[in-house]
Structure 1
Amino acid sequence: MRTLYLVTHPEAQHHVDDVVGGWHDSALTERGRQQAERIADVLADRIGPQPVEIYSSDLRRTTETAERIARRFNVEVRTDPRLRERSNGDADGRPQSWLAERRIPLPESGDRLAHHDGPANAETRLQLVERLYPALADILTQPSENQIVVSHGSASSYLILAWLGMPMRSTDLGFFPLTSGSITTLHHNDTHHSHQVLSLNETQHLSS
């Protein structure tokens, strides 16, 4: 059996500054670092002494989170740029108001995955899932029964869809709104060979 823990990074400086995240390489705030320690507490309690692998986006806010978790298990973090959040191109690092003035709204129908939001050099959602799906597939080739993946809100939502076996083209409508600092627990059952979502967007630890 395999259990995969999806962690969204906690509070980062771009949240406080109200600027666009994406590939903007902001660090965790002091509050975010405290939240990362609470996430590590939860995972250490659940996994215990069992072997574990830890994967992370290569942006600072995720690697800082992953490194705090990794210290509890005395393992190394494996970074993968494919686990990054969707790039907003020229909007990354700019005020949210700057992006709001230029964003082209996502249509209700049509080729939503290929839709371009407006800012130059931004990724489409199709480009995002085209890198996330193979990243998860590579992680799942590893034999470890316990794996932790630290990523970002939107990216983690699409990772859940990949885990459930949803075709890439069907991700234009499916989405899970995940809170920063959340834990989602995914499980492969060897009896039914089913991909289960045991918990979604757990946040109780953030207020403890």
Structure 2
Amino acid sequence: MKHIYLVTHPESQHHIDGLVGGWYDSELTPRGHQQAECIADALVSKIGDQPVEVHSSDLSRASQAAARIARRFGVDVQLDPRLRERSNGEADGRPQAWLSERRIPMPEYGDRLGHHDGPAGAETRLTMLERLYPALEDIVRRPAETQIVVSHGSASSYLITAWLGMPLASADRGYFTLTSGGITTFRRNDSHHSHQVLAVNETAHLQNCD
């Protein structure tokens, strides 16, 4: 059976500064680095000495966390820009209030995935899904039985819909609330080829991590 541990990167500087994340290359805070060590502890307790692969978004806040995790398992990080958060275009790195004043809300019906939020250069959700789905598919196809994937909040939510095989046309209705440093666990049951979600956004490992 294959196990995939999906990690949402821990606290980064843009969280503290109230800035829009997206493709803005914010780094982990000191607390975020400590949280990454706690995430690594939790993953070691789950995985033990099994061989593992670590895949990550190439943005600093994810790759820094992935590096700390990978070091505990004695492996390298395999970076993939397709695992990035959704780009907010010109809003990335600006105050959240700046984006809030300009964001065009997603409609309840119609082409929700193709909806453009407003800021110039921003990705649509469809564009993001068109890179996230193949990225996860490529990871799943690899022979490794245990894999760790480090990504971002919204991106990780859609990685869950990708894991479940939700068609792109339906993914606009799927959303999972994932918090910084959370771990979501996937398992592929080879006896009947099902894709299971064993846990969503586990955060107990962060409770005594300050």
Q: Shared fold by TM > 0.5?
A: yes
Aligned to 2:3: 3
Cα deviation for residue 192 of structure 1 reads 2.1
Give distance in 2, aligned partners of 1:141 and 1:99: 38
More divergent stretch after superposition (185-194 vs 35-44): 185-194
Aligned to 2:53: 53
Give distance in 1, aligned partners of 2:109 and 2:180: 28
Aligned to 1:160: 160
Aligned-pair RMSD on alpha carbons? Answer: 0.5
TM-score of the superposed pair, with normalisation by structure 2: 0.98
SS at match of 1:185: strand
Give distance in 2, aligned partners of 1:46 and 1:6: 13
Opposite residue 142 of structure 1, the aligned amino acid is R
Cα deviation for residue 110 of structure 1 reads 0.6
Give distance in 2, aligned partners of 1:4 and 1:84: 18
Aligned to 1:87: 87
SS at match of 2:201: strand
SS at match of 1:197: strand
- 2:65 aligned with 1:65: yes
Aligned to 1:38: 38
* Number of equivalenced pairs: 208
Cα deviation for residue 46 of structure 1 reads 1.0
Give distance in 1, aligned partners of 2:108 and 2:65: 35
Within a 5 Å distance, the mapping from 1:2-151 to structure 2 comes to 2-151=2-151
SS at match of 1:186: strand
Give distance in 2, aligned partners of 1:54 and 1:161: 20
SS at match of 1:21: coil
SS at match of 2:195: strand
Q: Deviations over 1:17-59 (max 9, x none)?
A: 0000000000000111111000000001111111000000000
Give distance in 1, aligned partners of 2:168 and 2:72: 35
Runs of 4+ in 1 over 4 A off after TM superposition: none
Give distance in 1, aligned partners of 2:35 and 2:162: 27
SS at match of 2:46: helix
Aligned to 2:200: 200
Aligned to 1:186: 186
Give distance in 2, aligned partners of 1:163 and 1:20: 27
For structure 2, the residue ranges without an aligned partner over 5 or more in a row are: none
Give distance in 1, aligned partners of 2:111 and 2:165: 20
Q: Deviations over 1:60-104 (max 9, x none)?
A: 000000000001100000000000000000000000000011000
TM-score of the superposed pair, with normalisation by structure 1: 0.99
More divergent stretch after superposition (126-135 vs 186-195): 186-195
